[in-house]
Structure 1
Amino acid sequence: VLTAGENGFFSQRFGNNCMRYTDLLTSHQVTYDFFELLHQQFNGDMFPVTHEEKEAVRPEHLAKLRTLFTVDAVKGGQALFFWAYNFEFIPIELISAIYEEFLYQEESGKDGTYYTPPILVDFMLNQVLPKSDQNYELRLLDPACGSGIFLVEAYRRLVERWRSRNKQNPGPAELIELLKKSIFGVDIKLQALQIAAFSLYLAMLDYIEPKTIRQDVQFPPLIGTNLIAADFFEERVAFEGHKFDLVVGNPPWMSNLTSHAKVFLRKHGYKVGDKQIVQAFLWHAPDFCTSNGQIALLCSSKSLLFNKSGPNVSFRLAFFNKFTVTKIFDFSALRHFLFEKGVAPTAAIFYKPGQPSRKARIFYAAPKLTHLTRYFAAIVIEASDLKQLPLWQVLDSLDSMNGMNKDGSRAAIKQTVLFDNKGEEASIDDEAEIPAINIWKIALWGSPYDYILLEALAEYPSLLQVIGEQNWISRGGFNHGGPGKRERAEWLDNAPYLAPKDFTRYGINPSTLTSLPKGNLYYRRGIPEQFKAPLVLFKRTQVQRQIAAAYLNHNCTYTDTFTCIAGPAQDSSLLKVVTALLNSEIAQYYLFLTSASWGVEREEIKAGEMKTLPFPFLNAGEEQINAIANLVDKLAERNTALHSTKIEPFMLADKQELPMDDLEKRLNDQIYQCFHLSKQEIQHIQETLQYTIGFFNSPRQSDALKKPQVSMLVSYVEAYINSINFYLASTNKKLIARIYNEVASLCTIQFNAVNRDEAVPSIQVVQPDANMSQVLTRLRRLDTEPVSRNIYHKRSFRIYDREYDTIYMAKPAEQRYWTIGAALNDVGETISTLV
């Protein structure tokens, strides 16, 4: 339109006063005469002219539009460069971004709709509509298409497939036929569909010469046929009974079901959690699929995988039993990388209609925010991000979560082996018990070894059970606001009050307490006994990136940011032990790998999750309980002093006193003893805190991404060969290792099986010879491979040479790959492969 005036298009039709498009904008009538002409010329929904629009758009609006194209800057100093932009090339992604920025500026997100980044569109379609295929005879539906970003990219791919198969460029007739037969969408907003139609027309024009456009092209009408303005759950959205090969899109994530969605769910007896409409979309999408069709939808990962509320667990259990889920890509760790604005963590689920076999496996990937992710500005999937989850294990995990008793005890169900990589069921012990541990959270941040360790820890009574057995009180604090009636609480009048900002771990400085006013009204008041000492306060949110609890020996009130555990005075030592547990390394480890939100969305722990912590101290001796209680007293004294405004740290520099870190180490050692953990298990927990949680907290500065020292590689090798040698004991063989010491992006270790009585060093650190250097150079060239424009795959290598009883292990030169836990997981994968 902006360049049409160069060949006299406007002057020939609207007079010599209209030499260019901006001249048309000086007249309301001429402007709409022009758009009416375009509508007649091109048909379709590209330039619709309605009476309502003509009435709404006034001359002053056109004047503002004209200003955008005729001045160098607008009010406020914003520079404009439209003169430098070639409008023959309009990226569809730009249209979608403009749609989000302007048309949805006030309401975007309120109805659960968000702009889908092109990187995710490309990723999703690579899975179900790869460019390498030639089959273009497909029907595709986006059930919440918005501005059409999925539909446009899918249309492009189908056109490219047509070109590949037919060895020629399609003409306008073929392009129109492909569009009409293959591309369909639904959205509740007509305005969104108008943008989608416009975007699809532009995509079609990319394949047509300009001269042909002016002479031969008439756009097909799309709105009302291919693009339906309706609630996806209305019965009239049926597309005349036609089914689709692919259902792809990004449905809304709001916790608000439409009236049609409620009717649909009631009619079919489907369950959803927290009124999540995206779960209703997951239920309904297969109804539009052919028997061999595929569904690929983006949704909230917390809703799909992590929320542990009863309704959400029930949804997952029913859903995974009804449909065949093939892949899940969990983008929780990339939330801020993928979305500029605050959007809930995302997952992509791929599934098919039809009930699955319990022997099926689900491919799960959870890419992380690494140096390469930022370097390539792309999704980088590494070997450690990939797992194969047996469906029976997923269902057993959900059964366990669904069968949790209210007192925190667990029903006896089958024990399983995590991440079985064979296509068959592993052995099952029917008599064992399994904890209610969410397999997806372990798959996101943990490993098979973590699952085994958490399972062992969960054999102890839970803190919730102990609270009940001891008749302690555990409640959240008061709350001023809420939907119900507010009442006065006499026990809170003029009571000492702890503000969240004054909370410190282990203990509270009484001088920081203030008093509540008299006569306040409260939505939740609590009970008098929960504010009386002795008590433990647990803070829902973290303190300096750590879980935090404090023991109080004085009365105190607090808001619902805190949960208390209060008991009689004779239980003060045991309550101090509770404080120690909540602040311990084990609690950090356990809750990071089991809580629904920490590591996924918000860094918080709900009270119910805190109470699932295992509690081994009931059988501990009095001496051990007192030792732990004394350490808590010392830590509380020093911590409250350090945070006092009246005392500076240098005033505590008494050489007779242990530093805080040493006191905490002694405390954690005592707690580890009570759990009867081995040196290897303790080391793995501490590595998880340093490398996994440290990486989550600060990906750029984390030790996890730093190059490992030779000493770390030696520790890895020792753990690996000791475990393998246990399995080789009956073969008269043993494993030895060579660590290749070189500065490179990969660390490489060679393992050899030799006779047990052979006198050779078990571990050697060597420089690679010429042949090995050549091999390692080739591996480094292969370690990072582009899968598509915005997707990369970073490899690790395990090479088995059975002829020479040799294993080569080459993994990224990052410390997180060379921990003791990594060695134990590699042992499991090695044995699984060789056996």
Structure 2
Amino acid sequence: MLGVFVKKENNLNFVYNQLDYNNGQLFDLVTQPSNAIGQDDWLNKGEWLVAAKKAGAEKVFFVDNNPIVVFAKCSNTREEQINCYNRLWSLARPRILFLECDGELYIIDLAQQPISINTDNEELEIIERLTQVKDVAKILQAFHRDNIESGKVFEHHRFGDLKHRADQSLISDLKTVRKELIEAGLCDDKVKYAHALIGRSIFIRYLEDRKILTKGYFEKVARQKSGWISLIDNPSSREELDFSKIHAIYPKVLQDKEFTYALFRSLSKDFNGDMFPDVDVEEQHVGLNHLKIVQDLLYGDVGIQKKLFFFSYKFDIIPLDLISAIYEEFYHSSPNEADKKSKARQDGAFYTPSVLAEFVVSRVLTAEELKKQPKVLDPACGSGIFLVEAFRRMVRYAWKNKKSSLEFNELKLILSSQISGIEINEEAARITAFSLYLAMLHYLDPPSILEQIKNGNKLPNLLVSKNKSSNHFNTILVGNAFGPESEYIRQVDVIVGNPPWGAPGNKADEITKAREKVILDWCKLKSYTIGDKEQSQAFLWRALGLLKEGGRGALLTSAGVLFKHSSTTQQFRNDWMSKVCIAEVFNFNHVRKFFFTSAISPFVMIHFTKENQDKKPVEYWSAKQVISLKETQSVLFSKYDRNYLIEQDLTDNKTWKANWFGRYEDTLFLGQLKRFNPLKNLVNMNCIGRGYQTYSKKHSGKMLNCEKTLNKISDKYNGLTFSNIPEYVYNLGPVEVYSGKKLIVNEGISEKGPNKGVIFSRYENEKFSFYRSIYGLKLTSDDETRYLYILGILWSSFSRYYFFNTTANWGLWNHKILLDELLHLPIPQNHDNKKSERVISIVNKLRNYQPQVYDIFHPNGIPNKEIESQRRQWETELDEAVYDLYGFTVEQRDLINDCCEVTLPFFYQPYDSVGVMPAVKNGDISWIKHYAEIFAKRWQPYLNEGEVLRANVHVGASGNMLALEFYPADIGDTWDLKPRDNSWGYILEEIGKALPKPMGTSQIVLDGIVYAISDDAIIIIKRNEKRFWTRSLAREDATSTLCKRMFETMPAKQELVT
């Protein structure tokens, strides 16, 4: 925690003004919609505004739709400060708290662990304590709105990790309790009872905190037996451990097993059996000792450390999606963590973080779509997180339009007419139903289930059944989305969800294999092609069939749907894309580890409609690892994360790869490379392949006919390290390649050391075998110079650029190049001229340069630093020689160099590579000068005679944003790019004159890029990071501003007069 001590009244108002939060997305908190909050803001932020109000906050600051900063006040006592912090900690998503306490101002990390009031040795630690207001403004500058929106506030390790955030802590606590229950005898086939007991107990606490279960409900059950009333009226023997101040009744009930299961049965009846089934069987296996362990959880007194945070959870505040967190923990019932993850991988089912569910639903359930009262379906709804978010969004929309809260029957109508789901796991389906009940009760006053029953309002049955009563909505089907049981489902308007990814594999259990067979049989029956038995592709087909014509779908799906290049996946794309119109694709590959820690598979979100694509463009967004996303787990995009795919081949996996980190000019360049012949035209296709494999003992290693073997190429220049041949091999590999001249290339990309993303390849002439991780090939010509010529191209930056932007795996799965991709490397045909001789000459220099390295035994040797410097010099010369060989233009060379020098380092080290360094800092203008000169050169033909462009540099938004203001000058005028002082307000005023709608700094920071053009100036504003100010982007920005100017100055169409 950063604490700032200020003796000043209304410190929060001081913060709002001095740190400029007022000019961003700062919202007052409400309990219901108001005219001050627009429709879209209420849809996207309303739930947070109500929850934060209930938690005691005053305002919340959002970055896009993500709550990042909370502002609150409390009295300056230890107890009140801790209570206030613990309540706001339960919000789980915001990261920063500004807390005003009687003139003192604290800034607190909301992801630090909560504190118990009853322990004297824990305090909210204060790092800074200042008394001068003038010093405060300086200290708090790090928390200026500009630094919040840009993410700069999270640099310099100011904040800890997220492991103590409320949602993360809950998962950790539940793991601890499960472990103790298993050790207490609920193991093996009884683990399911441990899961049911924990899950049910958490839900009851949830119901009790939210006043859905009141004391009257417990008393109704307690009247069944003498002594139970006194049990809940008198203090528990362990109540001194209750630090929560909730004084919940349920922990007291756990003292009596018979009372506990009577409560469970009552809840089962009142919740229509959708959440509390099989309590009779469970009761036979659960003992009082197990109930005591659960009681320990509720009192935060369990585990080796006797230190859980359960006392701090405020279930009337904590987000409803915690139900999904519990589902993640207990859906896969293996007691062993590794087995649980394996089962999840087989099923392809992983818990979806709420931030992703909110994002997906927001893309399809816009205010315009909600106006149509759409029917929404999730075909693999799991714990119901997408359906709950859809329901809540529908309620918020109706609430806003009605201008008053919805009645019980109005909420039931939304559930019955607009929500539906399919889920194969009955336990998960019941959690979905229960989650929807909670969401429904959340909007009622009173939420008490007993009061609603007294008023004649009975919760509907949501699980599909044969009962035809009016209170059976048949909302959730327990079954296989591909089975005959799903055929009765009518087509819907919108489909959302995160259906299973991947294929179960040969080691899957019989249940999983049977489920897979149903899917594959359905696809075969429908004549639908899917690649690699990929479930994502099957669900995209199923979604299409379940949608009405013109209906919309938004699904999280495996990236392989777009990136894999097998013939069957290619056929899937050809067929499926011929029937849909893709509106948006959001690529989360670079940031996947922040959302699915257990699932390493890359994923995308595809937003489509059931209609033909025709010539409609696709918005393709690619999330990048930035510090703010890492520290807040928010979904954040800037306009530079977007490419428009216009008349590009959407069925080609290379389209999606090239536009991931590349731009439109990259796709044009890669297309032009097709004029060169592929490498395979120079290769003897009978002497090529990957090395031997050792899966089984099929052949003797002696059949390799070699005395040594190479397991991996670890270096381009130094000697190879060989091993003894294996005793047995599964296959022999390309034996004919092992002897004589050959090129060998690592299948995998080298990602160790300072230069990550390097392709190791070599030309060798001695005899040795090699392992499967190496490709070997012979050329049709035995001329050594041909081998060196190809090797020079493989060693060049061009090959890195080409393979990174075209290969299916590099950057997504196992980072590697497939043999077929290697053979498609474009090769110039001019093998025998001075340009090729230059390439070969430099390759020979690099191969033959083997100096003695300086060390204690070789004082006359050359230091490693000098050796590497010499090699880098020759590598630079090799790049230029290869560029000359291909006849690349200056623009094309810049595309390659920008990728290898900026993009690839950023891909591997997104927080400290050259790409995220300031383009202008401390007066250094060397980086921005190249950009400015190239931009001006591109504009030169369109200027008046005798004019040139020159530029002024403006740095603003706390150093986060950079503006270049180009203006016409006379030929001979020199460049003066020294940053102007205190000129940001002037720039905002100037772009306000040039744009149809004025933009504040907040919107500029969030958008990431602004073009403003007037008769007097061209203003480019982007983030002050080098990756946004490269040579290639200078040309793109110049072209964009030229087009914008031409469009704006185009004469209006004249009507024809006859």
Same fold (TM > 0.5)? yes
Shift of residue 192, structure 1, vs aligned partner: 0.8
Paired residue for 1:452, among 660, 668, 685?
A: 668
> Who is 2:595 aligned against?
338
> Who is 2:153 aligned against?
none
Q: Does the 8 Å contact 2:1013/2:1041 carry over to 1?
A: no
> Who is 1:796 aligned against?
1009
Letter in 2 for 1:555: K
Matched, 1:101 2:329: yes
Task: Report the Cα distance in structure 2 between the residues aligned to 1:61 and 1:251, rounded to whole angstroms.
Answer: 35
> Who is 2:741 aligned against?
534
1:323-722 aligned within 5 A: 323-357=580-614, 359-374=615-630, 377-390=633-646, 392-395=647-650, 398=651, 438-468=654-684, 473-481=687-695, 486-492=698-704, 495-500=707-712, 503-506=714-717, 508-509=719-720, 512-517=721-726, 520-543=727-750, 544=752, 545=756, 546-566=758-778, 570-616=782-828, 618-621=829-832, 625=836, 627-638=838-849, 651=862, 659-709=870-920, 710-722=925-937
Q: Does the 8 Å contact 1:233/1:261 carry over to 2?
A: yes
What secondary structure does 2:1018 align onto? strand
Matched, 1:822 2:1050: no
1:24-63 aligned within 5 A: 24-43=253-272, 45-49=274-278, 51-55=280-284, 57=286, 60-63=289-292
Letter in 1 for 2:351: Y
Task: Report the Cα distance in structure 2 between the residues aligned to 1:212 and 1:162, rounded to whole angstroms.
Answer: 22
> Who is 1:91 aligned against?
319
Paired residue for 2:951, among 720, 738, 760?
A: 738
Letter in 2 for 1:65: V
Shift of residue 645, structure 1, vs aligned partner: 13
After superposition, give the CA deviation of every residue in 1:344-374 in whole Å (9 maximum; x if it has no partner): 11111111112232x2111111121123434
1:222-261 aligned within 5 A: 222-224=462-464, 225-238=474-487, 240=488, 242-256=490-504, 258-261=516-519
Shift of residue 595, structure 1, vs aligned partner: 0.9
Task: Report the Cα distance in structure 2 between the residues aligned to 1:385 and 1:672, rounded to whole angstroms.
Answer: 29
Matched, 1:220 2:460: yes
What secondary structure does 1:515 align onto? coil
After superposition, give the CA deviation of every residue in 1:644-698 in whole Å (9 maximum; x if it has no partner): 9998995567989972212222322322221122344323311211111111011
Taking structure 1 as reference, are residues 13 and 636 closer, same or farther at Cα in structure 2, changes over 3 Å only? farther
Letter in 2 for 1:82: F
Taking structure 1 as reference, are residues 213 and 129 closer, same or farther at Cα in structure 2, changes over 3 Å only? same
Gaps of 5+ in 1: 402-436, 787-791
> Who is 2:198 aligned against?
none
> Who is 1:167 aligned against?
403
Q: Does the 8 Å contact 2:261/2:279 carry over to 1?
A: no
Task: Report the Cα distance in structure 2 between the residues aligned to 1:496 and 1:590, rounded to whole angstroms.
Answer: 33
What secondary structure does 2:648 align onto? helix
Shift of residue 610, structure 1, vs aligned partner: 1.7
What secondary structure does 2:772 align onto? coil
Letter in 1 for 2:873: D
Q: Does the 8 Å contact 2:345/2:599 carry over to 1?
A: no
Q: Does the 8 Å contact 1:134/1:165 carry over to 2?
A: no
What secondary structure does 1:174 align onto? helix
Range that drifts further, 276-285 or 9-18:
9-18
Q: Does the 8 Å contact 1:573/1:625 carry over to 2?
A: no
Q: Does the 8 Å contact 1:504/1:640 carry over to 2?
A: no
What secondary structure does 1:246 align onto? strand
> Who is 2:200 aligned against?
none
After superposition, give the CA deviation of every residue in 1:33-76 in whole Å (9 maximum; x if it has no partner): 222222334435233345544455455543433443357232x3
Taking structure 1 as reference, are residues 169 and 707 closer, same or farther at Cα in structure 2, changes over 3 Å only? same
Matched, 1:275 2:275: no
Shift of residue 125, structure 1, vs aligned partner: 1.4
Task: Report the Cα distance in structure 1 between the residues aligned to 2:446 and 2:529, rounded to whole angstroms.
Answer: 52
Identity %: 25
Shift of residue 320, structure 1, vs aligned partner: 1.7
Shift of residue 533, structure 1, vs aligned partner: 2.7
Task: Report the Cα distance in structure 1 between the residues aligned to 2:940 and 2:833, rounded to whole angstroms.
Answer: 41
Taking structure 1 as reference, are residues 311 and 220 closer, same or farther at Cα in structure 2, changes over 3 Å only? same
Q: Does the 8 Å contact 2:853/2:864 carry over to 1?
A: no
Matched, 1:198 2:428: no
After superposition, give the CA deviation of every residue in 1:181-225 in whole Å (9 maximum; x if it has no partner): 221111111111111112111111211234743222422111111
Give the TM-score, by structure 2 length.
0.68
Range that drifts further, 539-548 or 60-69:
60-69
Task: Report the Cα distance in structure 2 between the residues aligned to 1:248 and 1:237, rounded to whole angstroms.
Answer: 17
Shift of residue 120, structure 1, vs aligned partner: 1.0
Shift of residue 100, structure 1, vs aligned partner: 0.9
> Who is 1:300 aligned against?
558
Q: Does the 8 Å contact 1:133/1:161 carry over to 2?
A: no
Task: Report the Cα distance in structure 2 between the residues aligned to 1:162 and 1:829, rounded to whole angstroms.
Answer: 41
Taking structure 1 as reference, are residues 577 and 740 closer, same or farther at Cα in structure 2, changes over 3 Å only? same
Task: Report the Cα distance in structure 2 between the residues aligned to 1:54 and 1:216, rounded to whole angstroms.
Answer: 29
The Cα RMSD (Å) is 3.3
Letter in 2 for 1:716: Y
Shift of residue 785, structure 1, vs aligned partner: 4.3
Taking structure 1 as reference, are residues 503 and 766 closer, same or farther at Cα in structure 2, changes over 3 Å only? closer
Q: Does the 8 Å contact 2:955/2:984 carry over to 1?
A: no
Task: Report the Cα distance in structure 1 between the residues aligned to 2:695 and 2:439, rounded to whole angstroms.
Answer: 52
What secondary structure does 2:482 align onto? coil
Taking structure 1 as reference, are residues 82 and 527 closer, same or farther at Cα in structure 2, changes over 3 Å only? closer
Shift of residue 700, structure 1, vs aligned partner: 0.8
Task: Report the Cα distance in structure 1 between the residues aligned to 2:869 and 2:403, rounded to whole angstroms.
Answer: 78
> Who is 2:962 aligned against?
747
After superposition, give the CA deviation of every residue in 1:407-458 in whole Å (9 maximum; x if it has no partner): xxxxxxxxxxxxxxxxxxxxxxxxxxxxxx8221221111122122223333
Matched, 1:125 2:361: yes
Task: Report the Cα distance in structure 1 between the residues aligned to 2:573 and 2:859, rounded to whole angstroms.
Answer: 53
> Who is 1:140 aligned against?
376
Task: Report the Cα distance in structure 2 between the residues aligned to 1:690 and 1:654, rounded to whole angstroms.
Answer: 20
Shift of residue 111, structure 1, vs aligned partner: 1.0
Gaps of 5+ in 2: 1-203, 233-248, 465-473, 505-514, 992-997, 1048-1058
Task: Report the Cα distance in structure 2 between the residues aligned to 1:133 and 1:165, rounded to whole angstroms.
Answer: 14
Paired residue for 1:183, among 419, 443, 448?
A: 419
Give the TM-score, by structure 1 length.
0.85
Q: Does the 8 Å contact 1:493/1:516 carry over to 2?
A: no
Letter in 2 for 1:266: K
